[in-house]
Amino acid sequence: MQNQQRVKDAGEKYGTDCIVILGSSDPEGAEIYAETVTAGDPTYAGPLAGVSLELPVYHIFDPVIRAECDPAAWEEQISMMEMVLEPDALAEAVKGMREQYSKNVIE
Partner 1 sequence: MSTKVGIKSYSYCLNHAPETGSHYGGTPYEAYHSGKEQEYLDALPKHIQSYDHALHYAPNQTYIGGISYEEFEALPSGWVNNPLPDEKSKRYGKFGELMPEDEFLGLISACDEFELVWLEKNFAENVSKKLAEDPVITEAIVKRVLRPKNMHELSEIETEVKERAGLYLYNEGKIVGCIRSGHPTDDCLTAHVLMENLAGKASGVLALLHLMKNSGMNPNDLDFVIECSEEGAGDVGQRAGGNFAKAIAEVAGCVNASGCDVRGFCAGPVNAMINAAAQVASGARKNVAVVAGGSIPKLYMNSRDHVKKNLLALEDCVGSFAVLIVPDDGTMPVMRLDVLGKHTVGAGGAPQAVTSALTFEPLQSAGLTFTDVDRYAPELQNHEITEPAGAGNVPLANIKMIAALAVMKKAIEKPAMMDFIKKHGTIGFAHTQGHIPAGVPFIGHACEMINEGKIKRAMIIGKGSLFLARLTNLADGASFLIEAPEPVKTESTLSKEEIKAMLLETLSEVAGRLS
Residues near partner 1, by CB under 8 A: 25-26, 28-29, 76-81, 83-84
Question: Smallest gap, in angstroms, from Cβ of residue 79 to partner 1?
Answer: 7
Contacts of 18 (CB under 8 A, 6+ apart): 10, 11, 55
Question: Smallest gap, in angstroms, from Cβ of residue 29 to partner 1?
Answer: 6
CA quadruple 4, 6, 11, 12: dihedral sign: positive
Question: Smallest gap, in angstroms, from Cβ of residue 84 to partner 1?
Answer: 5
DSSP 8-state assignment for residue 16 = G
Instruction: Give the residue with the Cβ less far from partner 1, 17 or 26.
Output: 26
